[in-house]
Structure 1
Amino acid sequence: MEILVITGTGTEVGKTIATAAVAATALAAGRSVAVLKPAQTGVRPDERGDADEVARLAGAVTTLELARYPEPLAPATAARRASLAPVRPQEVAEAAAKLATEHDVVLVEGAGGLLVRFDDEGGTLADAARLLNAPVLVVASAGLGTLNTTELTARELRARGLDFAGVVIGSWPNKPDLASRCNLADLPVVAGAPLLGSVPEGAGALEPADFRTGAPSWLAPRLGGSWDAATFNAGYAP
């Protein structure tokens, strides 16, 4: 795993915290890590962005933003409204490839879902992943509605010939309801890809030292951790 593209099934699914967990796990294994955020929206120049949050939680990672737009909108829309240049998939691919020459692991964190537009020509994170020939990790929510959005994302990845690494649940509830517990078995079926981890609810509020200690236990060996889907699922069988 040199370059990993991380997308969500939508907004507010725990993508940034999951990215931090992947970064922390790689750092714990002695690997150097870079986090690329192609387009950060909804923050002022003096505010912390998603890449900064990953660094706060995970530790000594290199961070890079290609563009920052003040309004909390899709990158293409935010760029147009701010009269700023958009980010192009080719720029994302070039930046990630350069970081990969200097780091063991490069994590490219998208904005929202896979097909959120970077520019008015329809360029997306999926296009950047294709240019990089990089696997894509999908972060999904746990509860009702996640099966549909996960399957739609999986179908689009396959239609584009992209390498679908698997699914991580971005925020596993402290008290999971029936839908969440059933989704543990159903998510890999609708995705056609393995469940590769489950980040506990509230992980982003942990002290960084506690986050770094816990992160490897939230992710499967494919992502460098020790989390086992069968064991985890058995504890929540409906």
Structure 2
Amino acid sequence: MKRGKASVAGAELPGVVLITGTDTDVGKTVATAALAAALQAQGACVAVYKPVQTGVSPGDGGDMGEVRRLAGTDECLEGIRLTLPMAPVAAAVREAKVLPALEVHAAAIADLADKYDHVLVEGAGGLLVALDGDGNTIAELARALEDGPASPCAVVVVCRSGLGTLNHTLLTLEALAVRGLNTTGLVVGAWPRDPSAIELDNRVFLEQLPTPLLGCLPEKASALSGEQFRAAAPEWLRGRG
């Protein structure tokens, strides 16, 4: 099934890429779908995994259903699904469910990495939101993967366009750096049709960081049909040019 690694904005991506955000609702799912579509457009085989999905009912497609619709990716899996729209640990307590251990997620991702060129792992909320009862976050999952059979891996950070994003983005990048984790790039999750002066200045700042700005996804990109989304995604993720 494997066909070879692909690149985004001129940078070849490793086999496992974790997508995290500077906050919740910053566009991680759309960014994950765009990355999947861009990689698949180059002929790569892609799978997507979300360790914990919250805030969805049993019949709801959830984030993985949205990635499947937009990117056309067949292999979109969840580790566990919770109904309440809360942080995973709080939702699990209220629903009397046990969250999978970090090792369970790492093993599932490693298994996918054996079969696919790229595995995209979408986090829940921001970088340091706990995924299990032991306080492990997407950062600990990245470290477990980096130290295990799924190595090498990297992180893509999805950020906002508006006021406050510079601080949130720099804090997230610093948290990744002190943990020795490789950050492949940044993606603005929703770039407005008519950006303000603040947003234009923020983009200039982000473009000048050592971590590459892989692209800016247009606001309401998720309103497109799957065919339209897949045709446009490679252009959105064209990098600094």
Q: TM-score, normalised by structure 2?
A: 0.89
- Residue 90 of structure 1 is aligned with which of 88, 103, 107? 103
Matches within 5 A, 1:215-230: 215-219=233-237, 227-229=238-240
Residue 87 of structure 1 deviates from its aligned partner by 2.8
Is the 8 Å Cα contact of residues 36 and 73 (structure 2) preserved in structure 1? no
Encode CA deviations 1:9-65: one digit per residue, 9 max, x unaligned. Answer: 011111100100001111111111100010000011111110110010001330111
Alpha-carbon separation, structure 1, partners of 2:157 and 2:104:
22
Aligned pair 1:60/2:58, yes or no?
no
Structure 2 counterpart of 1:137: 156
Alpha-carbon separation, structure 2, partners of 1:11 and 1:215:
22
Aligned pair 1:184/2:197, yes or no?
no
Alpha-carbon separation, structure 2, partners of 1:155 and 1:14:
21
Structure 2 counterpart of 1:224: none
Is the 8 Å Cα contact of residues 167 and 188 (structure 1) preserved in structure 2? no
Residue 159 of structure 1 deviates from its aligned partner by 0.8
Structure 2 counterpart of 1:223: none
Residue 74 of structure 1 deviates from its aligned partner by 0.8
Residue 188 of structure 1 deviates from its aligned partner by 4.5
Residue 94 of structure 1 deviates from its aligned partner by 1.1
Counterpart amino acid of 2:154?
A: P
Alpha-carbon separation, structure 1, partners of 2:83 and 2:77:
17
Encode CA deviations 1:58-110: one digit per residue, 9 max, x unaligned. Answer: 01330111101110111111111111011322222111110011111100000
Counterpart amino acid of 1:20?
A: A
What is the SS of the residue equivalent to 2:115? coil
Alpha-carbon separation, structure 2, partners of 1:65 and 1:74:
16
Residue 184 of structure 1 deviates from its aligned partner by 1.1
Alpha-carbon separation, structure 2, partners of 1:177 and 1:147:
15
Is the 8 Å Cα contact of residues 89 and 125 (structure 1) preserved in structure 2? no
Write out the 4+ residue segments of structure 1 that deviate beyond 4 Å after TM superposition: none
Structure 1 counterpart of 2:86: 73
Alpha-carbon separation, structure 2, partners of 1:161 and 1:98:
24
Encode CA deviations 1:117-142: one digit per residue, 9 max, x unaligned. Answer: 11232110100101111200000011
Number of aligned residue pairs: give it.
Answer: 222
Identity over the aligned pairs, expressed in percent? Answer: 48
- Over aligned residues, Cα RMSD in angstroms? 1.1
The gaps in structure 2 that reach 5 residues or longer are 1-13, 147-152
Alpha-carbon separation, structure 2, partners of 1:98 and 1:144:
40
1 or 2 for the larger relative contact order (CA 8 Å, sep ≥6)? 2
Counterpart amino acid of 1:49?
A: G
